[in-house]
Amino acid sequence: MEKKLLYLNRRAPYGGIYAQESLEVVLIGAAFDQDVSLLFIDDGVLQLKKGQDTTGVGMKNFSPTFGALEMYDVEKLYVSRESMAARAINERDLVVGVTVLNDAEIADLMDEQDAVLSF
Amino acid sequence: MSILHTVNKSPFEKSSLESCLKYVKANSAILLIEDAVYAALQGTEIGERLGSAASEVRLFVLGPDLRARGLVDKPLIETIEVVDYEGFVELAAQYDKVQAWL
């Protein structure tokens, strides 16, 4: 039976491995035909900042992968308006098209899931 | 003694930069590296507070970490200076000691 799965991303991209690990799990999980959503709140919104260039720090820039998620039928990307505002970024700063939600809408999104996977 | 304070944690997730700002003394410097570089952006609460500390303290941010995070197209607080790894080494040599806020 198809389940509603929400990947909850709350970390900045390069300070730890959470962000990259989340994306790995999303790609693996995409093979199982579930109803998948990705939500970015708190520092997680920073993962989607466009223009990332990691050549100077010796790490892999995984942000282009967000643009390829559509090919894996992962099409529901949600971002917190409040989290972006607190960090002085906006929708135009993002590497991929997303749905921007306020806090009440985010609570509803979490509420309607069968499971939430946190990173 | 003059101190180079390095901060490497996101100011939105950890209190490292807040604590650093509380204890930093005049004639010292703060260098933002890794996830702390997000504090260098204009238009955030922490950025404003950091910027106002510049009357007494010199502020630096590591360029390669800004670039990795896609921040080169965003305005930085005016009182902060971007340095590369060589600049990091020069600062470390120039100050009496380095204090890391992890």
User: What percentage of residues in chain A have a pLDDT greater than 90?
Assistant: 94
> Which phi-psi region, left, alpha or beta, contains residue A33 (left: φ > 0; alpha: ψ -120 to 50)?
left
The span from the CA of B2 to the CA of B27, in Å, is 6
Neighboring chain B residues of A85 at a CB cutoff of 8 Å: none
Would you kindly state where each structural domain of chain A is located, as residue ranges?
A: 4-118
Helix axes B16-23, B45-52, angle to 10 degrees: 20
Domain A4-118 - what CATH class?
alpha beta
Task: Give the pLDDT confidence of A59-106 residue by residue, as tens digits.
Answer: 999 999 999 999 999 999 999 999 999 999 999 999 999 999 999 999
What's the confidence (pLDDT) of residue B1? 87
Pairwise CB contact (< 8 Å): A13 & B34: no
What's the confidence (pLDDT) of residue A113? 98
A42 to chain B: nearest residue by CA?
B12
Neighboring chain B residues of A58 at a CB cutoff of 8 Å: none
- Residue matched to tokens 């039976």: A1
* CATH code: domain of residue B53: 3.40.1260.10
Domain count, chain B: 1
A88 to chain B: nearest residue by CA?
B43
Task: Give the pLDDT confidence of B58-91 residue by residue, as tens digits.
Answer: 999 999 999 999 999 999 999 999 999 999 999 9
Domain holding B58, by residue range, is: 3-101
Per-residue pLDDT, averaged over B42-70, amounts to: 97
Per-residue pLDDT, averaged over A7-31, amounts to: 95
